[in-house]
Structure 1
Amino acid sequence: MRSIELFAGAGGLALGCERAGFRPELVVEWDKWACDTIRENKAAGHPLVSTWAVHQGDVREVDWNAYANDIALISGGPPCQPFSLGGKSRAFDDTRNMFPAALAAIEAVRPKAFLIENVRGLARKSFADYLEYLTLRLTYMQNPAGSDWSSDLATMTQWKKFGLTEEYGVVRALVNAANYGIPQQRHRIFFVGFRNDQELNWVFPEPTHTLDALLVDQWVTGQYWDRHEVARNSVPDMPSRFRRRVDALRVTGATKGTLPWRTVRDALVGLPEAGDSPLQGYKNHVAQKGARSYPGHTGSELDLPAKALKAGSHGVPGGENMMRTGDNVVRYFTVRESARLQTFPDDYELHGSWGEAMRQLGNAVPVELARKIAESVYSHLSMNRDRVSEGNEKVLV
């Protein structure tokens, strides 16, 4: 199925969609380094990007009419800074707010489905009205042409009240990537919509991994330590914040049939210790010096999912781009380790300096999270295609 990727960055969301079966017809990104990452991997023959046509430039300058009514999926993550907890949170007043550009592309192309991602800051109470506005705009795909978005929200609220025909059935979900097997606690909001000529009974994929299952794996059965060949006398102390919860799990064992959260230790299996120079056979795996811990900047724990990587290098809040070993020594993640946390393929190389590559990764959607959601969308569209084909055959008979 043909797709278009907006605000592609280094390609996390597009890679996941490619793995799910979509074939990006056009990949749009304005940042030179991110485009270089995709282009260089394409030149190296990486199979996931071999057919991608990369457009380096502003999404607002693309002639979307050339793709109208011929695309299965538009996917993308508009720049998150206007809504990020770490930014100035100027939202709709921020010149970097690209939701209007995403809406314009979807309106022009009218894909069978769309998949839009952004930071959980968008779900904050202070942005509640704007979040509802975006949901209704994606639903009706009509611009009420009021004086501003708030007056448009009032108009569309009336449309909803009186049952105006919806152009897209929209499902909105706030998810933690760790609950889908990503070794990182990354909370993001997703908008998934299906055009009204498709079946609209799609539901967001159910979580597959839980903290409780990890705690049982570590502190009840101990199988986690056995898998990682950690001697029982070397197992770290249980974090005090989990003791009461683990005691309850010893009694109930209730993990709802889910898999354990994946941890930093899980993600880094098979990677050798990085040094000052590149290791043969390991892309982007070079040590970065200068990490230090101080209050509020403590790094990610080895035996839990990482904190959400941030699009910064030094000094990001909480030390999200650092890891803390069992002896409380901190160091920066290498680019390859960070790519593992974002579930990028090991043979996919990030281009640019350490800070530049970390910025690309910090802005990315985890590839495997994208794949799981996109696979569900692909399956739903396939069922609709089969349903239409069967209907046409009956008419011919």
Structure 2
Amino acid sequence: MKAVELFTGAGGLGMGVSLAGFSPLAVVERDRWACDTIRQNQSRGNPIVNGWPLYELDVRHFSYEDIDGEVDLVAGGPPCQPFSQGGRHRAFLDERDMFPETVRAIRELKPKAFIIENVKGLTRKTFAEYFNYIRLQLEFPEVVARENEEWLDHLGRLERYQTSGSKDSSTYEVVFRVLNAANYGVPQKRERIFFVGFRHDLHVEWTFPQETHSYDALLHSQWVTGEYWDYHGVAKKDRPSMEGRLRNRVEKLNVDVPSRSRWNTVRDALKGMPDPEQKTGEIFLNHKFQPGARTYPGHTGSPIDLPAKTLKAGVHGVPGGENMLVKPSGEVRYFTVRESARLQTFPDTYIFHGSWTETMRQLGNAVPLALGQRVASSVAQALLKVQEDQLKKSLAKARLS
């Protein structure tokens, strides 16, 4: 199956899509540092990105006319700063709003499906009208805004088109959901909205993959069975005391045993890695201590025995607090680039290009590879079923003739 990957960044979603079985026809990213990261991994022979047709280009200047054959999937995460808590919250007024370019790609390529990811902030009430505008454009990409047409007027035309009941091979069935990466085994509480669309003529029935991990299962492992502490070799005398507000919840877990796997934590993610403050040599790529970490209101770091807080890029650089580890002693230090990569489920063999600030920005903008792969694999299964059904119909028709 063939894919076109937009707004690739350091490659999190793109690598997840590739691991799900899609081969990219084009990988488009404008940021030089992110492109250098991909190129450096290609030069090292990384099998996931090796052979990616990378275009270091603003997607607004990318032409889809040279892409041969049918495209099965368009995937990408348009710049999230217009909608993020760390951005300026300007939505359509922000020049970085790339949803119109995302819709253009879908309109011109007519893929069988698409996966579009963005920040949870897009679902805020203040963006409700614009959120609806984005959704309807994804459903009806052929209904293009007219020259000098205000977006609210375009929204009105889209609403009228939707209520007319007109559906054909140029329209899409779109579903969306906010996914918490921790509920899919990622050691990070990262909430992102995913739009997934299938071309109407394919008649696909699809829903988001079921969650596999839970907080209750983590609590059960920590405070009911103690298996979590045993797994990490934490002696009973060194285990933290349970907070009072958790007691009622934990007592209930003695009766109702969670059926899912437990959340993965920062301690899980960092298992087997040397302490970067101990100068033992850089055994792991990008695993270098970064001094200067401190706490301040709103930036208190990630406790080691929970999934990390959301790694952030920030519109004015990297906000330190969310990218800090809180040690069992209560002291804090910055995550190294390699530790952050593990929190984003990148493989240890994947190297990041640039300074600490620059590489942390790339990681803060990335989709966790494991989450991207999970969603893309589910989409791939649906498309393969379509192919299988079409083949069966063709064979049945051939037998009748």
Show the 5 A alignment for 1:1-397: 1-67=1-67, 70-145=70-145, 147-165=149-167, 167-250=171-254, 252-255=255-258, 257-275=259-277, 279-312=281-314, 319-397=321-399
Counterpart CA distance in 1 for 2:208 and 2:67 is: 27
SS at match of 2:208: coil
Structure 1 residue 394, shift from structure 2 partner? 1.4
Gaps of 5+ in 2: none
115-124 or 199-208, larger mean C-alpha shift: 199-208
Q: Tell me, yes or no, if the aligned pair for 2:117 and 2:194 is still in contact at 8 Å.
A: yes
Q: Cα–Cα, structure 1 residues 292 and 145, in superposed 2: closer, same or farther, change >3 Å?
A: closer
Structure 1 residue 206, shift from structure 2 partner? 1.0
Counterpart CA distance in 2 for 1:173 and 1:318 is: 29
SS at match of 1:66: coil
Structure 1 residue 249, shift from structure 2 partner? 1.8
Counterpart CA distance in 2 for 1:205 and 1:23 is: 22
Gaps of 5+ in 1: none
Counterpart CA distance in 1 for 2:23 and 2:372 is: 14
Counterpart CA distance in 1 for 2:277 and 2:351 is: 18
Q: Aligned-pair RMSD on alpha carbons? A: 1.7
Structure 1 residue 281, shift from structure 2 partner? 3.9
Deviations 1:285-306 (A, max 9, x none): 0000000122322100000000
Counterpart CA distance in 1 for 2:386 and 2:328 is: 51
TM-score calculated relative to the size of structure 2: 0.95
Deviations 1:261-285 (A, max 9, x none): 1100011111111148783541000
Deviations 1:342-362 (A, max 9, x none): 000110000101111100000
Deviations 1:290-345 (A, max 9, x none): 00122322100000000000115998558110010111000000000000000001
Q: Cα–Cα, structure 1 residues 96 and 73, in superposed 2: closer, same or farther, change >3 Å?
A: same
Q: Cα–Cα, structure 1 residues 144 and 100, in superposed 2: closer, same or farther, change >3 Å?
A: closer
Q: Cα–Cα, structure 1 residues 115 and 313, in superposed 2: closer, same or farther, change >3 Å?
A: closer
Q: Tell me, yes or no, if the aligned pair for 1:182 and 1:342 is still in contact at 8 Å.
A: yes
Counterpart CA distance in 2 for 1:163 and 1:384 is: 24
Structure 1 residue 200, shift from structure 2 partner? 2.1
Q: Tell me, yes or no, if the aligned pair for 2:204 and 2:382 is still in contact at 8 Å.
A: no
SS at match of 2:10: coil
Q: Cα–Cα, structure 1 residues 173 and 59, in superposed 2: closer, same or farther, change >3 Å?
A: same
Q: Cα–Cα, structure 1 residues 108 and 93, in superposed 2: closer, same or farther, change >3 Å?
A: same
289-298 or 141-150, larger mean C-alpha shift: 141-150
Q: Cα–Cα, structure 1 residues 37 and 324, in superposed 2: closer, same or farther, change >3 Å?
A: same
Q: Cα–Cα, structure 1 residues 313 and 234, in superposed 2: closer, same or farther, change >3 Å?
A: farther
Q: Tell me, yes or no, if the aligned pair for 1:296 and 1:317 is still in contact at 8 Å.
A: no
Counterpart CA distance in 1 for 2:86 and 2:358 is: 18
Q: Cα–Cα, structure 1 residues 267 and 83, in superposed 2: closer, same or farther, change >3 Å?
A: same
TM-score calculated relative to the size of structure 1: 0.96
Counterpart CA distance in 1 for 2:257 and 2:154 is: 47
AA aligned to 2:302 is S
